[in-house]
Amino acid sequence: MDLATLYPDHLATVLQRMYAALERSGNDHLLIASGVLKYQFLDDRPYPFAINPHFLQCVPLVEHTDGWIVVTPGKKPVLVYHQPADYWHLPPTEPQGFWTEHFDIRVIRSPQEAAQHLPKSGRMAILGEADAALEGFVPNNPKAVLDELHYQRAYKTDYELACLRMASRRAARGHVAARIAFEAGASEYEINRAYLGAAGHNDVDVPYGNIVALNEHAAVLHYQHQEHAAPPQSRSFLIDAGARFNGYSSDITRTYCRDDARFQALIDGVETVQLALVDQVRAGNDYRAIHLDAHLRLATVLRDRNVVRMSPEAQVETGVSSVFFPHGVGHLLGLQVHDVAGFAGSIHGDLIPKPDGHPFLRLTRPLDAGMVVTIEPGLYFIPMLLQGLQEGPHAGDIDWAEVEHLSRFGGIRIEDDVACRTQGAPENLTRDAFAAI
C-alpha cells in the first residue's frame, strides 16, 4: 500500500491518542508548535532546524518553521502554515500532498499571525519550545500529556512502518557506497561523501552525525571527526549512519576489515550474536533480558577467540564483558533516533529500571507489536577501559598480546532496525533493505 492510502488511518490513530491525553489531563485543546529557527551567538547564521516531533508525526513537513497544529475533539484539526513573503530564502510551497485534505489549513505570512488562528478560550496543552511562544500562547508541555503521547509513540502505525522501511532503503544505498569507497582506500571524509551522495542526503539531512571510523577510530563509540587524508593502511572500517524519510529515521552500523583473519573472525562472531538477538525481538520479551543475553553471547565470542580466559558467566558477573561491550544493546527508533519513552512503564510516566550495572541501556520496556528497535551488539578495544582492566584483579585472565593485535582495528558494531510483529519472527528492516537494493 502507498503512503496516501496508509496516512488516513495513521492520522486517525494519532488524533485518538491526543484526544485521550486531553481528556485525562483535563484540557480542551492541544496546540503543537513546529518550532523556530535559532541563531548562532553574535551572528545571523541559523543553526540547523530541528522540528517538534509531535508536529512531524501529524504532517510530513520536516523543515516547516513557525507552524502550528490545533487539535480539538470533534473538530477538523487546524494547520497554521507559515509561508513568508521572503526573497532572501526559498519559502515553502503551497500546501500540497496526500495529507492536506485532512486539515483545515490557514496560511500566514508572519509568525505573529498564527495567534489569530489559535483557540480564544478553553484549557490548552501547548507543546513546544519556549522560543515558539506567541502572546497569550506559551508552551506549557503538561507532563501528563507528554507522558501519554510519548508512551504511545512506541507503537508504530502502518504508515510509520512504511516510512521507516524507506529510510532503511536510503541508508542501505549509502552503506553500500561507503563500503566500496573503503575498499578503494578512501579517507573517512571521502567515504562520508560517498555515503551522502548514495543516500540522497547532505550533512544536515541525516538524522545524526555519521560515524565514519577507520582503524583505531572505531574504538570511539561516537567518533565525531572525519579525517581528510587516508591513513597509510586502512585495516578496518566501522560506519554508523542513517537516513530519513518523511521525518522517520533509520540507524544502521556495519564493520569491515581488510586482510586479517583474526579480526574477521571476531566480526563473524558478533554477526552471529547479532542475528540471534534480532530473533528475540518478539512480543512479550523483556528488552532488558535481550541486553543481558547480548553480554553472555559476546563474552562467549571473547572466550572462543581466546581473548578472555573466563567463563561467559564470570565475565558478566565481574563486569569484564562491559569493558569490551560498554553500551546498551539498542533503543526505540522512530521520529527520533533515540526515540522517547524507552523506560516508560505506562502512560502515567512510571519508569522501568535498568538492570544493575548497566547504566547505558536506553530501553527497558517489554516488547510489543508495532515497536521498532535497534539491535546493535559490539566489541571494542578502548584504551582507557583496557587500562582499568589491566590494573584490576582479572588482568591475568586476558591474552594481552591478542588484545594488542586486535586494538589496531578499533572495534566492531553491527546494528539493524527491527520491527516487532504480533506473531512470528520479527521484521528486519535493515536486512530487507540491503536485499531490496
pLDDT, one tens digit per residue, over 111-130 is 999 999 999 999 999 999 99
Q: What is the Cα–Cα distance from 384 to 424, expressed in whole angstroms?
A: 42
Question: Does the structure show a pLDDT above 80 at 1?
Answer: no
Are 184 and 204 contacting, i.e. CB atoms less than 8 angstroms apart? no
pLDDT at position 87: 87
Relative to beta strand 29-33, strand 124-127 is parallel
> What is the overall mean pLDDT for the chain?
97
**Angle formed at CA 405 by CA 402 and CA 411, multiple of 5 degrees:** 100
User: CATH 3.40.350.10 occupies which residues in the chain?
Assistant: 3-152
Mean per-residue pLDDT for 314-336?
98
Mean per-residue pLDDT for 272-280?
98
Q: What is the Cα–Cα distance from 209 to 222, expressed in whole angstroms?
A: 9
User: CATH 3.90.230.10 occupies which residues in the chain?
Assistant: 158-436
Question: pLDDT tens for residues 137-177?
Answer: 999 999 999 999 999 999 999 999 999 999 999 999 999 99
pLDDT at position 90: 86
| CATH top class, domain 3-152 | alpha beta
Are 430 and 416 contacting, i.e. CB atoms less than 8 angstroms apart? yes
Q: What is the CATH T-level fold of the domain 158-436, as seen in this structure?
A: Creatine Amidinohydrolase (3.90.230)
Are 219 and 410 contacting, i.e. CB atoms less than 8 angstroms apart? yes
